[in-house]
Amino acid sequence: MSADPNCIFCKIVAGQIPARKVYEDEYILAFHDIAPWAPVHILLVPKLHIVSMAQLQPEHEALMGRMSVLVPRLMQELGVSNGFRTVINTGADGGQEVMHLHMHALGGPRPWSKG
């Protein structure tokens, strides 16, 4: 797998930075967000360093499908039973802060709701 030695998510994948892991296989690492926006807020990160969705290629189709199918299972295992939200920010204008593709999965009472 390719990695960027300066990328925080690549360092987490490599075990150089600790994370509260939820799931790991040969392609994906899922862990709790350090600044959660909801009672359950995890990140799913491909182990392959891909900067953002804008850099996805046809060979990444199975990886993205695997991430999407994994989310409901992980949220259920984490006790989320009334729905969840998934977000993938892409690029600076899309709100992406870490330039390594990642999917947010948020569950529980919605702090972003206005009432």
Within a domain: 113: no
Within a domain: 114: no
CATH classification of the domain holding 102: 3.30.428.10
Within a domain: 91: yes
How many CB atoms neighbour CB 21 within 10 A?
A: 13
How do residues 35-87 score in pLDDT, each as one tens digit? 999 999 999 999 999 999 999 999 999 999 999 999 999 999 999 999 999 99
Total-model pTM: 0.92
Is pLDDT above 60 for 114? no
Is the backbone of residue 91 left (phi > 0), alpha (psi -120 to 50) or beta? left
Q: Domain residues for 55? A: 8-107
Q: Write down the pLDDT at residue 109.
A: 73
Which residues are identified as catalytic? 102
How do residues 10-23 score in pLDDT, each as one tens digit? 999 999 999 999 99
Within a domain: 2: no
Q: Write down the pLDDT at residue 1.
A: 60
Within a domain: 99: yes
Within a domain: 115: no
How many structural domains is the chain composed of? 1
Within a domain: 3: no
